[in-house]
Amino acid sequence: MKKLLLASAATLALAGTASADEVKIGIIFGFTGPLESITPAMAGGAELAIAEINAAGTFMNGATVTPVRGDSTCVDAAAATATAERLVTSDKVHAIVGADCSGVSGAILQNVARPNGIVMISPSSTSPALSSAEDDGLFFRTAPSDARQGEVIAEVLKERGMNSVAISYTNNDYGKGLADSIQAAFQAAGGTVTIVAAHDDGKSDYSAEVAALASAGGDMLVVAGYVDQGGRGIIQASIDTGAFETFFLPDGMYGESLIAAIGPELNGSFGTVPGTDSPGAATIQEMAAAAGFDGTSSYVAESYDAAALILLAMHAAGSTASADFKDRIMEIANEPGEKIYPGELGKALELLAAGEQIDYVGAIDVDLIGPGESAGNFREYTITDGAFVTDRFR
């Protein structure tokens, strides 16, 4: 049985990480833009893992990990690329947690990560196109592909008696990929998709888009958009005009800011967001609460796991060089080995240092498949009395 061996101190020095050195991890999320209400908690999740590693004091012979935040904007590929370039060339980060949105993740991967040989693990980029992107073995994600989310959404819609739906999607890689996946899966299950129409973010008036959706009709409207941008605008315009009363809300539409903005008219709408009822999920919520933020917010758990996987892979390889530790990520994330949950990263460091194998279960019941992406677990919810109420896990 192959063991994950920690390199000697001499190897660490050659890799540029000797005792008490600083290891920098970039955290690139949309701190401005259409997901800005949920990204602070996502960053908090990644930084929980970093703080836990630092508290153990045994990472890479005593090295300290420093998070360096950068703004992806979620939607501006040029700005995201510039941010990543700065973090890699100026701040000298050794790996990236991020980005958040699929389009900017793809841009960073091709324009910065691959040319510089830097590992990146996204906790929330879900476009199916990323599964087949050229990545030189550098790109991973703890979020499941929307190819899987589309199948789950179709199951939920049919089980809840929806026979026809209209789909509105944000006009980018994420929205188009998810809309296509939902349409294919729902039609395969015998449902009817009356219209699939794009909407642009940043508009003040969505009446024209909603008029087209209303004309096509459907039992409900699926909104594959962003919680702080066009998706919210589509819902508000639909309610204002009476076009639709019930909405399906995929992962990009999950956020307390939506309920605060729309109000009681959202009661009865439902959706899905990546999530699990594993022991790690409960632990990460407790850890986040102790740190002063909401651990149930979108992609907090996935962000914790992304940072943890990077740091444990570095420790296993005895190197901060992506070329050395990238192949350790899949080994650590999957069986065999002793199972590791949130709060046990210090234990994981000790096991790896002793040459033992670990199976990083983490906060989301991590299981990486194929091209380094999550197999996928989802939480189904309904908005009831102004709150997201969990119905079941899939």
Residues 220, 347: one domain?
no
List of residues 6+ apart from 131 with CB closer than 8 A: 145, 147, 370, 371, 373
Contact 166, 218 (CB under 8 A): yes
- Whose CA is closest to 101, among 135, 129, 84, 125? 125
Range of the domain at 111: 22-145+278-374
Rounded Cα distance between 138 and 118, Å, is 6
Q: What is the mean pLDDT of the chain?
A: 93
Please provide residue 361's backbone torsions phi and psi, each rounded to the nearest 5 degrees: -85, -40
Residue 124 shares a structural domain with residue 167:
no
**Per residue in 37-69, pLDDT tens?**
999 999 999 999 999 999 999 999 999 999 999
- 4 lies in some domain: no
Entry pTM:
0.87
pLDDT tens track for 236-267: 999 999 999 999 999 999 999 999 999 999 99
Q: Do 259 and 341 belong to one domain?
A: no
Say yes or no: 57 and 33 in one domain.
yes
346 & 319 share domain: yes
Same domain, yes or no, for 116 and 134? yes
Q: Is residue 7 part of a domain?
A: no
Q: Are residues 180 and 197 in the same domain?
A: yes
Residue from 238, 182, 191 nearest 213 by CA:
238
11 in any annotated domain: no
- Is residue 179 in some structural domain? yes
User: Does residue 106 share a domain with residue 215?
Assistant: no
3-state secondary structure of 358: strand
pLDDT at site 164: 98
Domain co-membership, 333 together with 284: yes
Give per-residue pLDDT as tens, 91-147. 999 999 999 999 999 999 999 999 999 999 999 999 999 999 999 999 999 999 999
Which residues lie below 8 Å from residue 66, measured CB to CB, with a gap of 6+?
22, 23, 24, 25, 50
Band of pLDDT at residue 371, cut at 50, 70 and 90:
confident
* Other Cβ atoms closer than 10 A to 160: 15
pLDDT 10s digits, 271-298 = 999 999 999 999 999 999 999 999 999 9
Pairwise CA distance, residues 74 & 152, whole Å: 25
- CA separation for the pair 301, 44 (Å, rounded): 10
Give domain status of residue 17, yes or no.
no
Together in a domain, 157 and 228? yes
Same domain, 141 and 288: yes
12 falls within a domain? no
Give the total number of structural domains in the chain: 2
Q: Is 5 inside a domain boundary?
A: no
CATH number at residue 335: 3.40.50.2300
Q: How far apart are CA 300 and CA 275, in angstroms?
A: 10
Compute the residue count for the chain.
394
- 213, part of any domain: yes
Angle at which helices 39-56 and 279-291 cross, to 10°: 90
